[in-house]
Amino acid sequence: MKKTVIVSSPGKLIIGGEHAVVYGRRALVTSIGMRLYMQLTEEDKQDYESTKQLLNIVFHDTNKHYSINLLDSHDSYSLEIQAILYIYNHFKSFLSDKNQLNIQVRSEIPIGAGLGSSAAFSVCLVGCFYLLCYKKLNQEDINQLAYKVECLFHGTPSGIDNTISTYGQSLVYSRTLKKHLDFRLSNLAIIDTGIPKSTKRMVDLVRVFVENNQIEGEKILNDIEICVDTMIEHPEQINQLFQRNQQLLKCLGVSIPEIDSIIQTLAEKNISAQITGAGGGGCLIALTSSFTKDEILDLLKDHHIKSIQFVECGVEGLREEQTFVS
Output the smallest distance, CB 94 to ligand PMV, in A.
30
Burial class of residue 65 (count of CB atoms within 10 Å of its CB; 0-12, 13-18, 19+)? exposed
Residue span binding ligand PMV (CB under 6 A) among the ranges 19-27, 45-53, 89-97, 188-196: 19-27
> Per rule CB under 6 A, is residue 21 in the interface with ligand PMV?
yes
CA dihedral 50, 134, 82, 29 (to 10 degrees): 160
- Residue 307's SS3 state is strand
Per-residue DSSP letter, 244: H
Least distance in angstroms from the C-beta of 42 to ligand PMV: 32
Size of the site for ligand PMV (CB under 6 A): 16
Secondary structure element (H or E) that encloses residue 44, with its range: strand 27-44
Mask: binding to ligand PMV, 136-175, rule CB under 6 A, as x and -?
---------------------xx-xx--------------
What is the closest distance, in whole angstroms, from the C-beta atom of residue 168 to ligand PMV in the complex? Answer: 16
Residues composing the chain: 326
Does residue 11 touch ligand PMV according to CB under 6 A?
Answer: no
With b for 16 or more beta-carbon neighbours within 10 A and e for fewer, the 158-185 pattern comes to: bbbbbbbbbbbbbbbbbeeebeebebeb
- By CB under 6 A, residue 22 contacts ligand PMV: yes
What is the pattern of x (binds ligand PMV, CB under 6 A) and - over residues 281-310? Answer: -x----------------------------
Alpha-carbon distance values, 101 to 97, 146, 159, 221 (Å): 10, 20, 28, 45
> Which residues is 174 bridged to in the sheet?
177
Q: Does 10 bind ligand PMV (CB under 6 A)?
A: no
Q: How far is the CB of 268 from ligand PMV (least distance, A)?
A: 26
Q: Quick check: 114 binds ligand PMV (CB under 6 A)?
A: yes
Contacts to ligand PMV by CB under 6 A: 14, 18-19, 21-22, 114, 116, 157-158, 160-161, 199, 203, 277-278, 282
